[in-house]
């Protein structure tokens, strides 16, 4: 990866709405070249998507999320991957990671209610072959997500004009 690619990615990671033209100016590069780089990064799946970070509470939407610690039995040749895939393909799973430590998979679920989530865990997740145990932790409050503080009271407090 070259330097320009890295800078493009860093800029987009923080603000997916920057246009190729804006990025080009900021990096003192050619707009057509930046467009080409972005397209190429998308083709290579280095850029996987552009999503919006939403605070659903602000629009009165009830959402429940939970972290499920899952212990699974690894299988010959494929290790954890085959069982993992059966889990992460469910759209209810928002993100999932293989962990070191006392459990294997950290599964983040999102649903409309606690019942919906517990239903999913007991009927779908726990019953998958290879899943040894699950421990469900419901999220009480989100403070920060993907580097963004949910209720950031640090607005611009500078004087409007200063020397």
Cβ proximity to another protein, 26 vs 132, nearer residue: 26
Q: Max alpha carbon distance in the chain (Å)?
A: 68
Q: Within 4-23, which residues bind another protein (CB under 8 A)?
A: 11, 15, 18, 22
- Rounded Cα–Cα distance for residues 19 and 4 (Å): 15
Candidates 1, 48, 140, 159; binder of another protein (CB under 8 A) is 159
- The answer to whether residue 162 forms part of the interface with another protein (CB under 8 A) is yes
- The answer to whether residue 161 forms part of the interface with another protein (CB under 8 A) is yes
Token duo for residue 105: 């998979």
Candidates 43, 62, 146, 154; binder of another protein (CB under 8 A) is 154
Least Å from the CB of residue 2 to another protein: 17
Q: How far is CA 68 from CA 28, 82, 133, in A?
A: 46, 18, 10
Cβ proximity to another protein, 18 vs 67, nearer residue: 18
Q: Within 23-42, which residues bind another protein (CB under 8 A)?
A: 25-28
Residue 79 DSSP class: B
Class of residue 59 by CB neighbours under 10 A (exposed 0-12, middle 13-18, buried 19+):
exposed
- Rounded Cα–Cα distance for residues 108 and 67 (Å): 5
- The answer to whether residue 3 forms part of the interface with another protein (CB under 8 A) is no
Count of residues that interact with another protein, criterion CB under 8 A: 16
In this structure, are residues 90 and 84 in contact, taking their beta carbons and an 8 Å threshold? no
Residues interacting with another protein, by CB under 8 A?
Answer: 11, 15, 18, 22, 25-28, 154, 156, 158-163
């Amino acid at each position: 990866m070259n330097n320009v690619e890295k800078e493009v990615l860093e800029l987009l990671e923080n603000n997916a709405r920057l246009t190729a033209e804006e990025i080009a100016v900021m990096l003192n590069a050619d707009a057509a070249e930046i467009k080409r780089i972005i397209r190429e990064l998308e083709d290579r799946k280095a850029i996987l998507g552009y999503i919006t970070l939403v605070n659903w509470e602000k629009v009165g939407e009830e959402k429940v999320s939970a972290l499920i610690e899952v212990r699974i039995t690894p299988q010959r040749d494929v290790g954890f991957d085959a069982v993992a895939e059966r889990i992460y393909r469910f759209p209810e799973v928002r993100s999932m990671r293989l962990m070191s430590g006392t459990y294997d998979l950290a599964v983040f679920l999102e649903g409309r209610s606690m019942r919906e989530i517990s239903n999913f865990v007991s009927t779908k997740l726990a019953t998958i072959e290879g899943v040894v145990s699950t421990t469900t932790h419901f999220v009480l409050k989100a403070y920060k997500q993907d580097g963004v503080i949910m209720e950031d009271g640090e607005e611009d407090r500078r004087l409007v004009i200063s020397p």
